């Protein structure tokens, strides 16, 4: 009986102490975001470099209950946001390499909290900069705290948190596209 208890304890320690490395899902454009861009007028832009924040708030990789979540875009969540912008602008037919207007920025905060028993959160904050012919026309910080259902069980909470990350990015970009100053800077 004592050996069984020791074996179970050793198994539990092994399971709960070993982290697992995962890759975040590739970004899928939001149809609402694409439609908002289509409806925003006539312009074209390109997407420049997005940098990673230097603060601890920019988690890369993201730790979710001992598991590691890495970006599928060169292991950079700054590249994740840039790729999301490119996808949505391309689908809205607003992306062009031959323009003097460029969107760039920096991801300042990037984290997922799946420690809650009932709720989890994805926090993303980024600075978006629009330049035309090298002159800054827009420089704003936007942030989103996306809430999603979670669970006490890690086997449920971790995959759910991973699935919710792209939705948080969609919400962040939706905030940017709804900002009239952002759209005006692109025109």
What are the boundaries of each domain within the chain?
A: 19-186
Record the tokens describing residue 183, joined without a space. 């759209």
Report the candidate in 79, 126, 132 with the shortest Cα–Cα distance to residue 103: 132
Q: What is the pLDDT of residue 31?
A: 97
Report the candidate in 40, 43, 132, 30 with the shortest Cα–Cα distance to residue 91: 30
- pLDDT band per the 50, 70, 90 thresholds, residue 2: low
- What does the pLDDT average to over 102-111? 96
Kindly state the greatest CA–CA separation across the chain: 76
Residue 88, judged by CB atoms within 10 A of its CB (0-12, 13-18, 19+), counts as buried
Mean pLDDT of the chain: 88
- What does the pLDDT average to over 66-88? 94
Q: How many CA atoms lie within 13 A of 60 on its CB side?
A: 21
Q: What is the pLDDT of residue 87?
A: 98
SS3 category, 130:
strand
Q: Is the pLDDT of residue 120 over 80?
A: yes
The label of the residue with tokens 């760039």 reads: 104
Helix residue ranges, H only, the chain: 2-17, 31-38, 77-91, 154-177, 180-186
Report the candidate in 149, 95, 142, 87 with the shortest Cα–Cα distance to residue 117: 149
SS3 category, 145:
strand
**pTM of the complete model:** 0.85
Task: Answer for the pair 25, 62: CB distance below 8 angstroms, yes or no.
Answer: no
* Structural domain 19-186, CATH architecture: 3-Layer(aba) Sandwich (3.40)
């Amino acid at each position: 009986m004592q050996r069984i208890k020791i074996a179970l304890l050793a198994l539990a320690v092994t399971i709960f102490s070993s982290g697992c490395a995962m890759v975040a899902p590739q970004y899928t454009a939001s149809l609402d975001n694409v439609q908002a861009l289509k409806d925003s007028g006539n312009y074209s832009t390109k997407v420049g470099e997005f940098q990673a924040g230097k603060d601890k708030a920019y988690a890369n990789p993201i730790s979710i209950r001992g598991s590691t979540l890495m970006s599928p875009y060169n292991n950079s969540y700054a590249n994740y946001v840039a790729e999301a912008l490119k996808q949505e602008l391309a689908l809205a037919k607003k992306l062009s390499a031959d323009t003097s207007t460029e969107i760039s920025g920096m991801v300042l905060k990037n984290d997922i909290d799946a420690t809650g028993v009932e709720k989890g959160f994805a926090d993303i904050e980024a600075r978006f900069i629009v330049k035309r012919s090298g002159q800054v026309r827009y420089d704003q910080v936007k942030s989103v705290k996306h809430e999603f259902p979670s669970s006490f069980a890690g086997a449920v909470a971790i995959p759910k948190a991973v699935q919710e990350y792209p939705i948080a990015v969609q919400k962040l970009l939706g905030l940017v596209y709804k900002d009239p100053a952002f759209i005006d800077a692109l025109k």
